[in-house]
Amino acid sequence: MRAFESELTRSDGSTVHVRTAARAFRTPDGVTQYIEGTVEDVTEERHAKDLHARAAPFMWVFDGSGLAILLLDLSGVVRDANPAFLRAFDFQASDVAGREMVDFVDEGDRAPLTNEISRIVAGADDVSASQLGIRAADGRVLRAYTRSGLVRTWDGHPDHIIVLVEDVTEA
């Protein structure tokens, strides 16, 4: 038997995904002497596959949305900006990736934004909403309504922050 996958329940009630392989050792007359096998914990692999399957629709929304979206690491550094963000604020992807979000906000909004990120990462706020002045590539400050939230890994650990950005500058 090769690559048989199943779920086992640990004594603490959690589930572990395993892949089992086994073979029988027989005497010349066909009697099974013993069975040798392995059990491999593939929980992380299974969760990664599940995550990938769930992420595909998100990536479609991220890339195709008219709403500006930023993905930040837990210290507030931009991991990625969707095309709508780049268009709205006239940036190239290389202008934003790897820079702190506070670099793009108006001076007076930097301390509140830093506090907001800290509260989200600490778990004090799962979701936070605010208005910020975001400086476009040409120096204009556009007022934006932001809604930020913590995204967790499959096992509940904080992973990154998603920020939805809506330009509310009056024309």
Domains of the chain: 4-41 (2.10.70), 66-167 (3.30.450.20)
Task: Return the percentage of the chain with pLDDT > 90, whole number.
Answer: 71
Residues in the chain: 171
Nearest to residue 103, comparing CAs of 121, 117, 122, 84? 117
- Single pTM value for the model: 0.72
| Alpha-carbon gap, residue 150 to 6, rounded angstroms | 32
| Alpha-carbon gap, residue 63 to 160, rounded angstroms | 18
Separate counts of helices (H) and strands (E) for the chain: 4, 8
Q: What is the mean pLDDT of the chain?
A: 91
pLDDT tens profile 85-128: 999 999 999 999 999 999 999 999 999 999 999 999 998 888 99
Torsion sign across C-alpha atoms 100, 116, 152, 70: negative
Looking at residue 99, its amino acid is R
pLDDT tens profile 5-32: 889 898 999 889 899 999 999 999 999 9
